[in-house]
Amino acid sequence: MSARDVGSDGETHWHEERRAIVVNAAGVGVAVAAYGVSFGAISVTGGLTVLQTQLLSALMFTGGSQFALVGVLIAGGGLASAVATSVMLGFRNAFYALAMAPVLKVHGLRRLVAAQLTIDESTAMAVGRSVEHDGGRASRLAFWATGISVFVFWNLATLLGALGANALGDPRIWGLDAAIPAGFIALVWPRLSDRRSWTIGLTAAAVALVLTPLLRPGVPVLLTAVVAVAAGVLAVRRRAES
C-alpha cells in the first residue's frame, strides 16, 4: 500500500466523519427547537414583547440564562436579581470558551462569532472528539456546525413560539408554567452525576424555598450562589488535606 492510498483512505474516512458530524449537528438543532418554542411562548405569555424575546435568543443565545431571566421577571423578581441570576448561569460558557480556544485558534471577527456560539451543545459535540489524530479538524467542524445549527433552529423556534403564544391564551391551561421547571431539571440532570452534585442541588433547592417567603422573588435563587461557593471552598480544602 502506498502513502497515497493511505491518504485517500484518510480522505474517505474524513468525508464520512464530516457527514456524520453535520447530521448530528442538525439533529441537535432540531432537538433544541422544541425547547425554543417553549421559550418563545413562555416569554411572551409572561409579558415580554416578541422583539425582546427574539433579541434574547439572537444576542444572549444561551438557553438556561434566557429562561432564568424571563422566569425571574415573570415571577415578579426585580431587575437586579433577574440579570444576576441570568449572568451567573451564563458564566459556565466562559469555561467552555476556555476549553475551545486552543482547538479553534480564532482571532478578530471570527473570535467574536465563536464566542457567541460557545454554548452547552456546541462545546459538548466538539470536546467529545479527540484532537490528537487530526489536529482538531473534526472538533472544529463539530463546534461550528452544531453552533450554527442550534443558532438557526433556536431562533426560528423562538419566533414560532413567540408568535404562537398569543393564540394560546392562558399558558396555564397548556401547562406551560410546568414546562419551565421541567426545562431546568432537564438542563441540570446530566450534572447530577454523583452524591456531591445531588447534595449541592438539593441544598440549593431547600435554601431557595426557605427564603422564598422572606425575600423578594428572584433573590432566594440568587443567594443559592453561596451554596456553590461553600461547596467549592470545601472541595478545595478537602483536596489540600488529602
Q: Which of residues 96-155 bind other proteins (CB under 8 A)?
A: 96-98, 100-101, 106, 111-112, 114-116, 118
Sign of CA dihedral 126, 122, 113, 13: positive
Under the binding rule (CB under 8 A), the answer on residue 17 touching other proteins is no
Which one among 3, 59, 109, 167 touches other proteins, defined by CB under 8 A? 59
- Ranges of H-type helices in the chain: 3-45, 50-55, 63-74, 79-90, 92-104, 108-116, 120-127, 137-168, 176-188, 195-211, 219-223, 225-241
Return the number of the residue (139 or 224) whose C-beta is nearest other proteins. 224
Q: How far is the CB of 61 from other proteins (least distance, A)?
A: 8
Q: Which of residues 64-103 bind other proteins (CB under 8 A)?
A: 64-65, 67-69, 71, 73, 75-76, 78-79, 82-83, 85-98, 100-101
Give the CA radius of gyration of the chain. Answer: 21
Q: What is the DSSP letter of 170?
A: -
Angle in degrees, CA 207, 209, 211, rounded to 5: 70
Residue 127: half-sphere exposure toward Cβ, Cα within 13 Å:
15
Under the binding rule (CB under 8 A), the answer on residue 174 touching other proteins is yes
Q: What is the distance between the alpha carbons of residues 94 and 90, in angstroms, rounded to a whole number?
A: 8
Which amino acid, 224? T
Which one among 6, 23, 152, 182 touches other proteins, defined by CB under 8 A? 182
Q: Which of residues 184-223 bind other proteins (CB under 8 A)?
A: 184-189, 191-192, 197, 200-209, 212-217, 220-221
Residues 23-52: x where in contact with other proteins by CB under 8 A, - otherwise, as a string: --------xx-xx--x--------xx---x
Return the number of the residue (6 or 202) whose C-beta is nearest other proteins. 202
Return the number of the residue (18 or 216) whose C-beta is nearest other proteins. 216
The C-alpha cell at 215 is 425575600
Q: How far is the CB of 242 from other proteins (least distance, A)?
A: 13
Q: How far is the CB of 6 from other proteins (least distance, A)?
A: 36
Q: What is the distance between the alpha carbons of residues 46 and 26, in angstroms, rounded to a whole number?
A: 30
